[in-house]
Structure 1
Amino acid sequence: MAASSPPHVVIFPFMAQGHTLPLLDISKALSFRGLKVTIITTPLNAPFIHSKVSDHISSISVSVIPFPIVPDLPQGCENTANLPSVSLDILASFITATKNMKQHFEALLKEMVETGSRPICVISDFFLYWTLDTCRSFNIPRVVSHGMGVLPMLILKHNSDPCKTSSEFDVIELPSLTLPFTLNGSDLPVCDPDDPFTRVILEVEEADKNSWGVIVNSFQELEGEYVTALEGLYYKEARAWCVGSVLLYDYIQEQSRASDGKSQSCGPYIEWLDKQEGTSVVIYVSFGTQARLSNEQMDEIAYGLEMAGQRFIWVVGSSGMWVPDEGWMRRVEGRGLVVRDWVDQRSILAHPKVGGFVSHCGWNSVLESLSMGVPLLAWPIEAEQPLNAKFVAMGLKAGLMVSEERVKTIDRHVICDGVKELMESEKGKSARERARELGTMAWNAVKKGGSSDEKLDELINRLIDIKRD
């Protein structure tokens, strides 16, 4: 291999949109720095990934390996969005099935090494825990990606007995860790020591702790005070590298290419936003690709939005079987837009007409919203989302909680009051100002000389030095 050949990084995302997108952003950030990137995925996930990196074909390639056929999963199910249910047992089967990709992964790395394109590291999703053994066999550092922020990751790892039974109202104290909010039993994922998902997570956690390092989609100014504590939970002096908000690397490149500095994204929902008068006047509602709300809850959201009287864009998403009544559609016509297709969420949040985001508080959505200076009305549903929601509302003060009670169905009046408070009240105004401050910090972090820009350079240089040794 010629001495001038660029450093090579392999990126292996878990087959879920929320896990894949930030790693695609990291792929682009590495390619902007002149690195060669290979993304590993499966046949049915490849078209989506190709569509996201098609402008970088000279530096980013996609290698496809087969997804295994296993009895517990429907044939052709290669992404968590296509799982027949949201049960943890099914998710455990899906994660376990990926282990059957190990032989193909090893063959790919072997070919890279033999052809003189040895990677300086493999950036692997934490659910693909089995990649650690393969990386070790080739003496290639494994850098793990969680898709979570530093603080929620720290809390989940610090909670040394996750399966300890506790009431949802119990206050949980974590030794030597000061939190910016009260941690209750209801904020942590439900855990059963006998279920398949818990057994998988124990394997995942062991591989995670033994990885060379962890790459985090966050930035020093947002969560820097928790980084040292997180690193202390890893073995062999592993480092946590905060290189986010990773979506902004691409935005900066777009702005340098476009004379007007505007996003090139378009669609019916952007055209609708363009027609609205004023700024920060539309509230955006979306619960991500995985959440599946009941028809009863969808009705409550619909009537809550109507009662609030605000202009809104509501992405129905995976709750696509829900159909609103015709009377409601007539009453909100002109001030509300219901979207059933996939949307470019980032372009919506970047639009100056959007002034709030009703969100499940997945970490990607939190960072996308804050990076664009948009406050959140936090409505956590599962996983670490309650931690993200409390961090945003109580720690960062860049949003409000739709409700502090974890109930099966949130009433329309509660939804109405939350939307109006975010969009009209002094509390909402304060949250919006704080979100804009954090947005400025996020952009500065990824600019030349910013904290995330320097951390990414530091990570690359450290890996190159290891390869030389």
Structure 2
Amino acid sequence: MTTHNYDHCNGEVAVVVVPLPAQGHLNQLLQLSRLVTTYGIPVHYVGFTNHNRQAKARVHGWDPQNSSLIRFHDFQLSSNLVNALSTSTDDVHSTSKFPAHLQPVFEAAGYLQQPVSTLLWALAEEFKRVVVVHDSLMGSVIQDVRLISNAESYTFHTVSAFALFFYIWELAGKPLQLDDDDVPKEIPPNEGCFTSDFSDFMAKQYTYLSLSSGRLYNTSRSIEDKYMDLLQKLPMNLNKKLYAVGPLNPVIVTGKRKHRCLDWLDKQPVNSVLYVSFGTTTSFSGEQIKELAKGLEQSEVRFIWVFRDADKTPGVEEGRRIDDVAPAFEERVKDRGMVVRDWAPQLEILGHSSTGGFLSHCGWNSCMESVSMGVPMAAWPIHSDQPKNTVLVTQVLRVGIAVKDWECREKVVTASAVENAVRRLMASDEMRRRAHELAGRVQGSVAPGGVSHLEMDSFIAHITR
């Protein structure tokens, strides 16, 4: 592991970043690391070897290998440990589409407590202050912070302020009286969003929230000011400082292009291509894949479809698929469609002028990237925060349409439903106008003087006080 010279930081402050080992979480905290280093502060990014490698390989818009201020601490994940945990966390009765296959890795992450503690004590001797920014689901791993006099921790939330508030609000028995305009007509309940194993895991990790000095959120007050204010009113956040510092992804994409789909996009008309991707934790049934393929074909819309199976455990196995799109389908749509079976540069695709819509699971990374690039969404929620994000995107921000209602989550989405949603989305100039307008606000929020930029300045000023 390379040792970097941090003399220009005067040994004042070091930041330790501790993500949950799942792609959406790894990515956001790596993006936050990039932001922190722009202030000349060294960052220590902690995780399992495979997941650190994955985070670096998949990050968009910049190359973490070029940053001398980010140091990756790689810890080995034992496959024996994962296998042992797999037998004890098998949620066989769950009907949730939540990726239960990742649960053993989440449980195994608890074993990072000891090596992370060793790192914190070592840094505490070298720096005046050690600041830990940890995923909200990694609280148990950093609990030894309270024993170190010159260390403090901050909780990082990887979901929208909207989804987080309504999740906690429902869980706590709806303690706050809300105005009618604060609550969209139908907020999907927490039921069906998670397995019971994961709900128990969250509850355990949330018991450590009281240890942190504040909270950080990958959102912008330019779009979620109301829900940031509501979060501040929750009992768990009283006397805590909340910082909305997003979007964390770059809002202007530059750099070398490596993927063939970008060359293909260059040849398509402006706003003509639908980008189709359902994230890293979702695998559809063969029946659903066929209906989706048929719907895309019938829509006659240009598209890029990222078609790869969900990430596996304990490492990352790229390109495995539970089913396949028939070669005949690809042959029929070859003049207007591209099927991508490997990792795709999502941020670059969304930032391309030819991309005019995004058919998505509505994970928060995807939502923030789509919003910041001005691309309207067709929302197809599957688990976790996605049903609530769908309401935020479609009813609150009004930059998307719903393909699938959450109450119909057990049903297959038919080809005709896909076709109709895709056509509606791609034909809506009004929605595209709103998306571009919203993107302007969000991009402005991270520019110097913008609200998110000022909140990041405030956070940095606080930890370097």
Fold shared per TM-score above 0.5: yes
Whole-angstrom CA distance in 1 between matches of 2:191 and 2:19? 25
Kindly state the Cα deviation for residue 263 of structure 1 after the two structures are TM-superposed: 4.5
Whole-angstrom CA distance in 2 between matches of 1:370 and 1:65? 35
Partner-residue secondary structure (3-state), 1:324: coil
1:121-156 alpha-carbon deviations (Å, 9 max, x no partner) = 111011112134211111422111221011111111
Kindly state the Cα deviation for residue 91 of structure 1 after the two structures are TM-superposed: 4.1
Question: Quick check: 1:309 aligned with 2:304?
Answer: no
Give the aligned partner of residue 43 of structure 1. 49
Task: Give 1:284's aligned amino acid.
Answer: Y
Whole-angstrom CA distance in 2 between matches of 1:129 and 1:364? 21
Aligned mate of 2:166, from 143, 155, 174: 155
Partner-residue secondary structure (3-state), 1:248: coil
TM-score, length-normalised on structure 2?
A: 0.86
Give the aligned partner of residue 36 of structure 2. 30
Task: Give 1:13's aligned amino acid.
Answer: P
Partner-residue secondary structure (3-state), 2:305: strand
Given that 1:285 and 1:313 are in contact with CA atoms closer than 8 Å, whether structure 2 keeps it comes out as: yes
Worse overlay, 139-148 or 306-315 = 139-148
Give the aligned partner of residue 449 of structure 2. 449
TM-score, length-normalised on structure 1?
A: 0.85
Give the aligned partner of residue 132 of structure 2. 122
Q: For residues 368-383 of structure 1, what are the structure 2 equivalents within 5 Å? A: 368-383=369-384
Worse overlay, 27-36 or 91-100 = 91-100
Give the aligned partner of residue 365 of structure 1. 366
Gap change, CA 1:217 and 1:190, over 3 Å in 2 = closer
Q: For residues 57-68 of structure 1, what are the structure 2 equivalents within 5 Å? A: 57-68=67-78
Give the aligned partner of residue 145 of structure 2. 135
Kindly state the Cα deviation for residue 28 of structure 1 after the two structures are TM-superposed: 0.8
Worse overlay, 178-187 or 119-128 = 178-187
Higher RCO (CA 8 Å, separation ≥ 6 residues)? 2
Kindly state the Cα deviation for residue 401 of structure 1 after the two structures are TM-superposed: 0.8
Whole-angstrom CA distance in 1 between matches of 2:163 and 2:276? 23
Kindly state the Cα deviation for residue 386 of structure 1 after the two structures are TM-superposed: 0.6
Whole-angstrom CA distance in 1 between matches of 2:110 and 2:242? 25
Give the aligned partner of residue 440 of structure 2. 440
Give the aligned partner of residue 284 of structure 1. 275
Question: Quick check: 1:271 aligned with 2:271?
Answer: no
Given that 1:159 and 1:174 are in contact with CA atoms closer than 8 Å, whether structure 2 keeps it comes out as: no
Whole-angstrom CA distance in 2 between matches of 1:304 and 1:49? 33
Q: For residues 254-269 of structure 1, what are the structure 2 equivalents within 5 Å? A: 262-269=254-261
Kindly state the Cα deviation for residue 50 of structure 1 after the two structures are TM-superposed: 4.5
Gap change, CA 1:187 and 1:379, over 3 Å in 2 = farther
Give the aligned partner of residue 430 of structure 2. 430
Given that 1:180 and 1:391 are in contact with CA atoms closer than 8 Å, whether structure 2 keeps it comes out as: no
Whole-angstrom CA distance in 2 between matches of 1:237 and 1:99? 28
Given that 2:12 and 2:129 are in contact with CA atoms closer than 8 Å, whether structure 1 keeps it comes out as: no
Give the aligned partner of residue 295 of structure 1. 286
Aligned mate of 2:27, from 12, 21, 31: 21
Whole-angstrom CA distance in 1 between matches of 2:334 and 2:176? 49
Give the aligned partner of residue 90 of structure 2. none
Whole-angstrom CA distance in 1 between matches of 2:179 and 2:99? 29
Kindly state the Cα deviation for residue 6 of structure 1 after the two structures are TM-superposed: 5.4
Partner-residue secondary structure (3-state), 1:300: helix
Given that 2:360 and 2:379 are in contact with CA atoms closer than 8 Å, whether structure 1 keeps it comes out as: yes
How many matched pairs?
A: 431
Task: Give 1:42's aligned amino acid.
Answer: F
Give the aligned partner of residue 241 of structure 2. 239
Whole-angstrom CA distance in 1 between matches of 2:193 and 2:260? 40
1:221-268 alpha-carbon deviations (Å, 9 max, x no partner) = 10011212212322551122111111127x4xx7xxxxxxx5433311
Kindly state the Cα deviation for residue 186 of structure 1 after the two structures are TM-superposed: 5.1
Kindly state the Cα deviation for residue 352 of structure 1 after the two structures are TM-superposed: 0.2
Kindly state the Cα deviation for residue 310 of structure 1 after the two structures are TM-superposed: 0.4
Kindly state the Cα deviation for residue 292 of structure 1 after the two structures are TM-superposed: 1.0
Could you tell me the percent identity over the aligned residues?
A: 27
Gap change, CA 1:235 and 1:97, over 3 Å in 2 = same
Kindly state the Cα deviation for residue 86 of structure 1 after the two structures are TM-superposed: 6.9
Give the aligned partner of residue 347 of structure 1. 348
Gap change, CA 1:70 and 1:102, over 3 Å in 2 = farther
Task: Give 1:248's aligned amino acid.
Answer: P
Given that 1:310 and 1:420 are in contact with CA atoms closer than 8 Å, whether structure 2 keeps it comes out as: yes
Gap change, CA 1:415 and 1:109, over 3 Å in 2 = same
Give the aligned partner of residue 146 of structure 1. 157
Whole-angstrom CA distance in 1 between matches of 2:395 and 2:148? 45
Gap change, CA 1:243 and 1:161, over 3 Å in 2 = closer
Kindly state the Cα deviation for residue 46 of structure 1 after the two structures are TM-superposed: 2.9
Given that 2:21 and 2:106 are in contact with CA atoms closer than 8 Å, whether structure 1 keeps it comes out as: no
Gap change, CA 1:300 and 1:174, over 3 Å in 2 = farther
Kindly state the Cα deviation for residue 57 of structure 1 after the two structures are TM-superposed: 3.2
Kindly state the Cα deviation for residue 380 of structure 1 after the two structures are TM-superposed: 0.5
Whole-angstrom CA distance in 2 between matches of 1:42 and 1:161? 34
Whole-angstrom CA distance in 1 between matches of 2:141 and 2:326? 49
Give the aligned partner of residue 93 of structure 1. 104
Q: CA RMSD in A?
A: 2.6
Partner-residue secondary structure (3-state), 1:130: helix
Partner-residue secondary structure (3-state), 1:280: coil
1:167-195 alpha-carbon deviations (Å, 9 max, x no partner) = xxxxx997436545223555654567xx4
Whole-angstrom CA distance in 2 between matches of 1:452 and 1:373? 18
Worse overlay, 58-67 or 16-25 = 58-67
Give the aligned partner of residue 416 of structure 1. 419
Task: Give 1:129's aligned amino acid.
Answer: G
Whole-angstrom CA distance in 1 between matches of 2:370 and 2:188? 27
